[in-house]
Structure 1
Amino acid sequence: MSGLLQNPGQAEPQFEGGTRIKVDGFFGDVDRNIERLRGLASRLTELGDLTGADAVRVVIATVRRSACLPGSIAELSRFLERETSTATANDQLAIYRVAAELSCLTDPRSPASQADAQAQVMSETRAIMRSLEQATPMSTLMEDAIQPALRSSSRSIFLFRSDMVAEFAADRLSTAHAKLTERLDAGIIRFVGERVLSTITAMPNSMRNQFKRAVVVAPTRSAILASLAEAWLPEQILILADADTLAFAARDANSLADEIDIAPLAARLRLFAARATARVTEIGRHNVQLDAEMPPDDVEFPTSSVVDLSGGVRGERRLIEISMDNGQRIIARPSTGIVLRNDNATTTAFIERPASQVQKGDEVCVIGPGFIERARALVNVRATAVAEIREYHHQVARRFGEIPGSSINERLRAVVSQMGVPLISIDRARYWVDLDGELDKPLHDVVPHAPHDRDTFMRLTAALGIGQKLAESFWLWAVVAQRSHRLRAGNIFHDAFRGILTDPHAALAINRNRSADIRALRAMAEEHVAIVAETRNLEAA
């Protein structure tokens, strides 16, 4: 907002329109649930479970995002499948699902399950999400907001968070209002992404003044302020949002109005703040704690179906783009392992192949958002990983202690010699066996003290006398899965699930208690296989 602060001697900007600002929103079960989830996140932070707290915040964002849809999740699903493909729709719908996060948070091994034992907030969240499958608060707000535009002879613009959501809203409302289709075709009513407001503002007066009404649907706090700061606005402005967003946006608007020396804009901001505060009180959000944690501004809506496995690695400029016949795309480094279905096997099998060797016609298992969301609900990678890390550390500590030698350095020299890699120093190996600080940590704080490449890891475990099958299991669960949990968004869990699909026997041999989950994951992977339409080389930016 620094652009709003006027420089001395600069002419005061002219502001037009926005004289009739209305606000509407919702609170109800959705925002009450968000309040309780926020409390759970605070408790987990106090307990030191920062990962669990982050997972709860992801749930909060998902609940808010879903409630702000201009139609139910089921209607969105049908729209996406009709307009794109089943696979693309599945990827785009992944951000409206909480099953994976709730599966992790309710795992008996997680601190969250203990913190929520009495409150049952996560059980309530599941019920809320089931209700949003059928209807959302924003969908009923939209039903009311569309009526004046249908009756008016002047032009109206409806601003949504993305073009896709705008198209979904138009498709849904046109079914119930035949007149809306006519007005959309004629341009009397426009359903567009929020950025189009700036385009209309830049039009000549004769064109932009034809728009008398703007409805801003589910904006973030910053988007509300940005819209109000436009030099030109239609005379009538209606802002639709959840009560949390309205309450904090009202506070922000008042603060900004006090800081700027632009009277027309300050008056516009204060008008919005007064209307928003009044409406928030009317709909039942009486005790607004303005010093509480802010509602997230990054509640975004899906725009594409690209699985980015490039990992941002420096030094390798060549990338491979693999396009599927269903519209999905994978971007990867040439050496990145891609999971393919092996039709030559007598039973369903998956193999790994470098991205550079994938060819047109190959059948690829696309480990994208849709796959990961379902897979995480089947196999709680994080909870399993941290438990396996603890067991791995105990095994290393015990076996290292049994190696003959009068000192730690003497035992380290024996381990390094047994590994047979001259470049590995004693100091480097010391980190792998220095586990005193890890053995007593809470599970959610444990991190693996282990080599990051498989060959070195297997040499270390062999030198310590850990059998190959057990070492493979530790590598799969304790190292790869935990490391994948920390990778950037495009790579989350990819390595872990790829290993389970292409090399299941190591996991099944040692993890019999999880064999049903692993088999279910492999069966589910069949539903995410797509045929490669083409591949091409890209240059990394």
Structure 2
Amino acid sequence: MGKWGEDRFKKLQEARATAGAKRLALAAQLKDAAARQAEHHAAEEAKARRFADIDIDAALSFIAAVPLQRFDLAFEGTGTLNRPTLDLLRHFLAALVEQKSAAVLQWPTAQRDAAILHPLAMLAMLGSRAATVTGQHRWCPAVHDMRTLYFPWRGGGTGSDQRGWLVDRDKILTPNALHRTRGLAGEPEATTPLGMLHDTLGHLTRLKLRDQSLPHLAHPTLAELFPIFSAEGGPDARPMFASPRHELFGRVRHGAAIDKLTDHRATLTDPLQAPFALFGIDARADLRTALSAPALTVGRGGRPPDLCLIDLNPPGLNRLGPGWEEIVGRFLEALLAHCPALPVLAVTHDGYVQRRLAHLLRQSKAAKIARRTALDMPIILRRSSDIVSADPEIGVVSPITATFQSTAGASVNALSALAEAARAIPDAVTAAAIRRSSANLRRASALPCGLRAAYDGLCALEGQAAAEAFLEERSEANVLGPVQAALVTGITGSARSKLMAAEAAIAKAYEQLDHDTPIGSAVAQLGADYARKSDFSILVFANPTDLRLAERRFAEDAEVNETLRNRIARGLLKICHAGELENLLAQLEAGGNRNSWKRIALIAPPIAFLDRLLVRSWLPSQLLIICDRAFTGRVAGTYGSLALHAEFAGSGRIGARMTVLADAAKKEAQARAVGPINLVLEERPALDVPDTVIDLVDTDGPVADALLIELESGRTLRTRPASAMIRHNRDAAINPFDRAIARELAAGDAIVVPDRAFVDAARRLLPVELLARNWVKLYHDAIIAMLPAVSGATLAAKARTVHAQLQKRQIRATSVAAVQEWLNAESYRTQPAEQMRPHAPQYRGDFDALLAVLNIPAGLADKMWDEGIEQLRSDRRRAGARMAQAFISVLVDPHGVGGELSPDVRARIAALRTSALDHLDVVRRIDQENARDG
């Protein structure tokens, strides 16, 4: 045995040799990795260049001349692709050639199945090559086939539209003949399967024998020209991309003798090598498994896709359901992680969906890594929903002016509460269900009469079953259902408080809607107004049922009803619903007196109907829209952004109409920006007419930004720039009073300036107690609703819990008994209305702290204090020499405010509004106070 350390040198040499071998192996690995990466980049570049030689204009020119014939519903005449479908196909081909992603918006209508672009692109590519002559042979260069990844797969629904369109076989055979002679000219085929496809297409020449006997079998359909494979989810799903979903050339197989001649369909339907194949991925499928399936992986014998088509038109969105954003976001993340260079073409009909797609791509981690966050967002203007209906380009359109008359009330407050609740819900499906319930509430509030009158009217007109079916989705139970279902799940925190606030707001809204709707009140006034007019007008309701209910309401006033009937008989007035309007406008446009029709009034129109109306080349010049206040905000937001798009912008284009509508909607939203009840009828010194200066500034002494408004009566108003005024618009359709800010007034504006007699009469007509009770009742209801969430077995225990939390906020109240009195709202609700008093903290800060502890929304707390609690406390009434802002709500929004009041009080409000016309004064000049003093 040798001494220790004798083999040290030997071991050192062995270690060095091992390390050297490892370095050599690592260098080889790095070299191989670099080679593979270079090979991958070269393959990607070659793949991107595969379609670079496609002439898009030539391809579209060819496909535009291909006759298509519908035969599944009726054997109709032939047609060719219309303009918007060709535009959509151009974006498809551009994504292949330029390797750029885009989200295309079809507006206002859409081709519902975007999968039809795949066979149309296939035919366009095959027919895009120009003929070349070599010797005696006439041929064309080869075209590479494409593979399309389609999402979301909808089972048998995908491609259903394609199965109804016949393609003229001669238009397929003519360019295919050039491809078949390419081999005779000694030119290579792109791939062997592609050559087999050309041979199979050549067999279609035998179909000419069926032209007379079986014409519907003499031509193939779009759906049978290419194979479709699918990857589905669920326990009963078939293996991913294992077999085609239908038989290739199945309908024409016998007539073309495909199975008798050389039959290549086994190769053409092999998922590993099938040319022009479409691979659909279901939303439930395992995305990683689907994207790495053998059919789509080069290393496993397949070929990767060349384009991803995301179909988010109505059928696709319905398939994905309420959580579509999450599902699409997950798909994009998996797709770009697996295929970072793959171009994506998304097609939708909804501007919101287009914007959200761009947002999802910007937020995608895989897109950031692949540097693919950029997304083109083109818009295709189309009026047709199929591929051949005439849809010429819309050029110059007639100019219009637009006026909105909006209403508010408890239903609009409920819509706002539902929107807040939906935003607070973390679950996308539950939030979508709540948004759908808000749509049902909007339908209920858009009725031309109250729910009770609607039920009685429909029972008389159509029977009880039809009445119940129509009103079911508009019922309180239907709207409350998703909110209560969310509460049952045990959700906590701010989301629960907002759900409970929405529940209370819905109950309050239906108390009003049961008697009358704000829209119905406005319609009644509009009918009386139209009875007095002598010009040519059109009155349009959203649906046939609303029209019948409106006619029944007009009939309640014999004089108005008789006058309207006379105007209709004389041809001065036409009343219809949205489904009849297009034919009516077409008749008027074709007639000789279309310019006589100046006004068209739309009653609670859906925004989709308004979209379709805007694209007409001719419309009556004056557009009046009666709607709820929330609709004005939606119109302003939607059309304001669309009007700036290059597709719509320009003089005389649709963008000009959109701008008019957006500006009018924004103006109306500002003019009606008042609370549902904002009457502060306090004991104040009234305005005295002889006073030359009416001071509306509460603060004594100079104010830096005060305005001095000179009036034609010789008086001067001193006010702050943001003070609310009531402006009179004599040209308004039904409501001449608008809310305006002092700084927005201009010379010539008429405003309401009440005197002492007017204020005194208002106090007699509208006692403050009556108007404040609803808010005090809502305050008590909110306390009762939130009390179960407070820990404690008894009311006293709950009071101690709340008192302990209030002490941390350093409020003035220190007594547990006082807190228990505030929480004992259940006993106060049973008191007679005339004895109703708010049992609440004395000071505003304490009140805010109490409601914050109980998780009652701050916006609701402001209304409760300002319009309820403070109004019923005589010791809180203040005096001041200022205009009574009490009248803003009842003048600006009488239909929304008055809906929750008794008929007697509504009659008093009408008298007050009539009296306000006697107190108009005109603005002569507006100055800054400091500027004048200087």
Q: How would you bin the TM-score normalised by the shorter chain?
A: 0.3 to 0.5
Could you say which structure has the greater relative contact order, defined with CA pairs below 8 angstroms and 6 or more residues apart? 1
> TM-score w.r.t. structure 2 length?
0.28
